[in-house]
Amino acid sequence: MELNEWLYTTNYQTFEEWQNLVLDREEVYPALRIPYDEWLEKYIENINDVQHAEVKNLLRCLLEPLTRNQDTSDYAINKMMQRVADAKIRQRAEKMASSENIIRLSKGLDAWEGVTWILELLPIAPYNAVQALESYLYSQPNLPDDRIIGIEQCIEIIFAKFIHCENSIEKLLTLKSVEFEWFIEYLYDHMGYDTLWTKATRDGGKDIIARGKRPDGFEQVYVECKLYKTTRLTLQAVQAFSRVIDKNEVNRGVIFCTGYVSESLKKEDKRIQIWSYKDMHTLLNAHLGSDWIDDVNTIVGIQRRKYG
């Protein structure tokens, strides 16, 4: 049985009926989460057929501010406890009153803030949207169960619609090698790294140097870009890059290859992450937005102006 299934309202029998009630703000329970796991699974399975705007409308409903009857009741009880004669009870009530949901209610606001602002990050920065939702869950340990489940469902939906969707490789294959390097450098910029593109005449076996801070210290990454149409990545190419990593004592290396990459080659050197296009498009979706394919020429133009 689903959580609190015995409380479910009876005014819907299908996902579509439930969704229409939620979108129309009709009385329905649950309203903060999709009622059944199988409905969520089917929705995600067919999500490529759903328009961006429709997906965002559903997410908006699941992420709006919330005040339950229990919240207003708890607030009233807390106010009463602050007025009793027992000093210990008053002290406990005052401590509880410092929680953000009680403070919001005291100001006439909803007990639980909404996070609909993350919709501004879709489809341009879906990974940032996911991180924001995960941070919200972490910062609110006393969230109602329905809201927790609903946010977790929103994360699944965002991954399915905006990160795991596939874009054709053809647009990338129209680029020149140097333009592909610029494009990948732009990606690292948007991932928060300080980057340096190295010209082919003096790259020393790397196309991009990316530097950034991590919780455990400073990181320097060498990036090699292989714009292949039919060529496969070779063992010799990976071993040569390994020697560059050794010589310069950098933290790790990354190879972006649009050609064929065998699974065994990906395990050749644990310090080197190899992104085939099969993997690469997910990274691009996450940090450049699911519509990055429409912006390839614009991004290359920005980089061309940058490098004259």
- Half-sphere exposure in the Cβ direction for 231 (13 Å, CA): 9
CA 112 to chain centre: 22
Quick one: CA dihedral 274, 278, 280, 286, positive or negative?
negative
Instruction: Please check the confidence at residue 13 and state whether its pLDDT lies above 80.
Output: yes
Instruction: Please check the confidence at residue 202 and state whether its pLDDT lies above 80.
Output: no
Q: Which pLDDT tens digit goes with each residue over 108-134?
A: 999 999 999 999 999 999 999 999 999
Dig out the tokens for 17 from the structure: 């009926």
Q: Which pLDDT tens digit goes with each residue over 47-65?
A: 999 999 999 999 999 999 9
Mean pLDDT for 236-240 is 95
- Distance between CA atoms of 299 and 306, rounded to whole angstroms? 11
CA neighbor of 291 nearest in space, from 72, 99, 121: 121
Mean pLDDT for 198-212 is 82
Which pLDDT does position 204 carry in this prediction? 64
- Distance between CA atoms of 254 and 207, rounded to whole angstroms? 10
At 7, the amino acid letter reads: L
Instruction: Give φ, ψ of 257 to 5 degrees.
Output: -130, 125
SS3 of 126-174? HHHHHHHHHHHHHHCCCCCHHHHHHHHHHHHHHHHHHHCCCCCCHHHHC
At 1, the amino acid letter reads: M
